[in-house]
Amino acid sequence: MMKKTVILIAGLLIVLGEGIFLARAETPIMTIDDFESGLASRWEEKKFHGKTLYWIVEMNGGHCLKAESHGSASGLIYRIRYDLQEYPILSWRWKVEGTLQSGDATKKRGDDYAARVYVVFPHWIPTRTRSINYIWANRLPRGEAIPNTYYSHAVMIALRSGNGDAGVWCSESRNVLEDYRRCFGEEPGTVGAIAIMTDTDNTGEDATAYYDDLRISGPPQR
């Protein structure tokens, strides 16, 4: 199968020059997308195998992004350059209808997830590009972090695992700066993009997920 993480990073390296750099704003919180006005124009689709379907749906008096994958894999990339020292926190809500029976983050044939959110750190030398993948894991224990089976400089962090929270909106808030230091043992470069993906191309299974309220924010108050 296609090496999804590698291809996503390669695509970012080609188009990164078109991105804009986000300087510190007066407000400590910046909304990437809450989907209340549809899908923001800055989202770009990247196909790997077939096409995961992404569209806006109404739910509980608001709107969110729904994703459906049927043995397919494509992601949405939001190119935005910013410094993690200024905006270390990434937060969002997500929900899955279920995880994948054959999904296994430790095996290439199981490298599929009902939901995942990437933070990508492109470098002009491809082998120095890094990414953090926050995943709704199939069986990897919650809180565990391992290198991606295709690309060791992409680290998979299991925020949720299994079906215990399936069908329920779950809120996440991650200090990406601290996660990066812990995963790679160095200071991060500039963030180049945030991406989301629901993919089932390796397992051939079906998955449905929902995403909402993606935001970045300043350092936590001490």
Predicted model pTM: 0.91
Q: What are the pLDDT digits (tens) for 182-222?
A: 999 999 999 999 999 999 999 999 999 999 999 999 998 76
Instruction: Give the pair of three-digit tokens for residue 76.
Output: 């949405």
Structure confidence by residue, pLDDT tens digits, 127-162: 889 999 999 999 999 999 999 999 999 999 999 999
CATH code at position 164? 2.60.120.260
Is residue 222 in some structural domain?
no
Evaluate whether residue 35 is within a structural domain. Answer: yes
**Alpha-carbon distance values, 115 to 206, 209, 216 (Å):** 12, 6, 19
Q: What is the pLDDT of residue 125?
A: 86
CA dihedral 70, 200, 38, 131 (to 10 degrees): -170
Residue 17 covered by a domain: yes
Whether 119 is in a domain gets the answer yes
- For residue 18, give both structure tokens: 């078109």
Q: Are 92 and 172 in contact (CB under 8 A)?
A: yes
Residue 179 has pLDDT above 60, yes or no: yes
The verdict on residue 104 lying in a domain is: yes
Q: How many domains are there within the chain? A: 1
Average pLDDT, the chain: 90
Cα separation, 161 vs 134, whole angstroms: 11
Whether the Cβ atoms of residue 103 and residue 203 lie closer than 8 Å to each other: yes
